[in-house]
């Protein structure tokens, strides 16, 4: 199992942002096999993490034509800067208090 961490410094989130973000989430899940997607924003800082079965899915998702448009909107309007990390999950545990 793999994860993609997206960390961004927000510039300006316009009305189109939430619409596109929702579309991208749906596309990643329905077409490319993303199994989970979470996003948390505090002030100008956004962290989003998506989970995938294999790295091929991540590569295809990165090259999706609609996603490329969203990436360009991200770079030119919504974000001052962002960083993407591709990771392999080694182990995990959870606890309920």
Residues of the shown chain interacting with its own copies in the complex, contacts defined by CB under 8 A? 2-3, 5, 7, 11, 38, 40-42, 45-47, 49, 55, 74-77, 79-97
Nearer to its own copies, 28 or 58 (CB): 58
Contact 52, 33 (CB under 8 A): yes
- The count of C-alpha atoms lying within 13 angstroms of the C-alpha of 26, restricted to the half-sphere facing its C-beta, is 7
Nearer to its own copies, 15 or 94 (CB): 94
Residue 43 C-beta: closest distance to its own copies, Å: 9
Nearer to its own copies, 23 or 85 (CB): 85
Nearest to 2 by CA among 62, 67, 46, 50: 50
Question: Cα-flanking dihedrals φ and ψ of residue 83, to 5°?
Answer: -135, 140
């Amino acid at each position: 199992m793999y994860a993609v961490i997206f960390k961004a410094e927000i510039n300006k989130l316009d009305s189109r942002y939430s619409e596109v973000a929702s579309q991208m989430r749906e596309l990643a899940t329905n077409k490319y096999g993303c199994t989970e997607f979470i996003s948390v924003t505090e002030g100008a800082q956004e962290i989003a993490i998506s989970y995938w079965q294999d790295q091929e899915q991540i590569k295809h998702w990165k090259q999706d034509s609609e996603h490329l448009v969203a990436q360009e909107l991200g770079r030119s309007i919504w974000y001052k800067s962002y960083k993407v990390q591709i990771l392999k999950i080694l182990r995990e545990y959870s606890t309920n208090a």
